[in-house]
């Protein structure tokens, strides 16, 4: 799964990698957790790419209340096209979630007890960003309030991730961004083909401080190796 990640820019790099023309306000965040507002990249009405804030945790349009969103932070790539919660968004409302890296936890022994050691996984090349495959939805409350939400699609682990966790976010190759975002791309087979593990050689992983375990904490030190 993917339950925590970081996006700290710089803004110029986000704009460059995802070909964004419009401005956006998203300060450095080193410990982004579910239900938070997150930055997503979508295709605009004229084909241009736009960056917007969505709540992390997808709420299907047919849901009765917002509580389901906390359970739908991720969608499995193997079943996303068929699951009722995701299938409409998969065909119509795909997005990219930019990230400098993500966290995953591995069981380890310390002083005779089992602990969860956090790891930070980021691009091998300094300055590069991940582009997670995501979905968006628009939900309207009984009172008429619009809530825009999203989730991150996951896939099986690559060889780098296998010792840490058996799942990882789908990290799109930059040359696949346009296909993924194109609302006219409706061929399920072609879209499924993009939901594969990223090449392990383009990533690096290392242990980080356990202070990141608290979703209420946020610090630039969380992405530094220990």
Supply the Cα-derived Rg of the chain in whole angstroms: 17
d(CA 197, CA 192): 12
End-to-end CA distance of the chain: 23
**DSSP secondary structure letter of residue 143:** T
Per the CB < 8 A criterion, the answer to whether 131 and 172 are in contact is yes
Q: How many helices (H) and strands (E) does the chain have?
A: 4, 12
Catalytic residue among 78, 82, 104, 224: 104
- Active-site residue 104, yes or no? yes
Catalytic residue among 2, 95, 150, 151: 2
- In the chain, helix, strand, coil percent, each to 5? 20, 35, 45
Signed CA dihedral, 84, 87, 88, 90: sign only: positive
- Active-site residue 150, yes or no? no
| Element spanning 128, H or E | none
> DSSP states of 24-35 as a string?
-----EEEE-TT
Active-site amino acid positions: 2, 104
């Amino acid at each position: 799964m993917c339950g925590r990640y970081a996006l700290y820019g710089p803004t110029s790099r986000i704009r460059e990698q995802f070909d964004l023309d419009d401005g956006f306000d998203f300060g450095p965040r080193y410990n982004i957790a579910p239900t938070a507002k997150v930055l997503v990249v979508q295709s605009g009405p004229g084909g241009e790419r736009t960056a917007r804030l969505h709540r992390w945790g997808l709420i299907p349009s047919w849901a009765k209340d917002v509580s389901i969103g906390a359970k739908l932070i991720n969608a499995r790539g193997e079943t996303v096209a068929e699951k009722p919660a995701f299938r409409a968004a998969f065909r119509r409302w795909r997005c990219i979630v930019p990230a400098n890296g993500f966290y995953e936890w591995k069981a380890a022994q310390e002083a005779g007890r089992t602990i969860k050691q956090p790891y930070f996984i980021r691009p091998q090349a300094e300055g590069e960003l991940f582009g997670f495959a995501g979905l968006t939805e628009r939900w309207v409350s009984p009172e008429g309030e619009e809530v825009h939400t999203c989730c991150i699609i996951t896939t099986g682990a690559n060889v780098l991730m296998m010792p840490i966790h058996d799942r990882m976010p789908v990290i799109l190759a930059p040359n696949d961004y346009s296909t993924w975002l194109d609302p006219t791309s409706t061929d399920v087979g072609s879209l499924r083909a993009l939901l594969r593990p990223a090449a392990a050689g383009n990533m690096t992983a290392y242990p980080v401080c356990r202070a990141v375990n608290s979703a209420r904490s946020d610090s630039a030190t969380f992405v530094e190796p220990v």
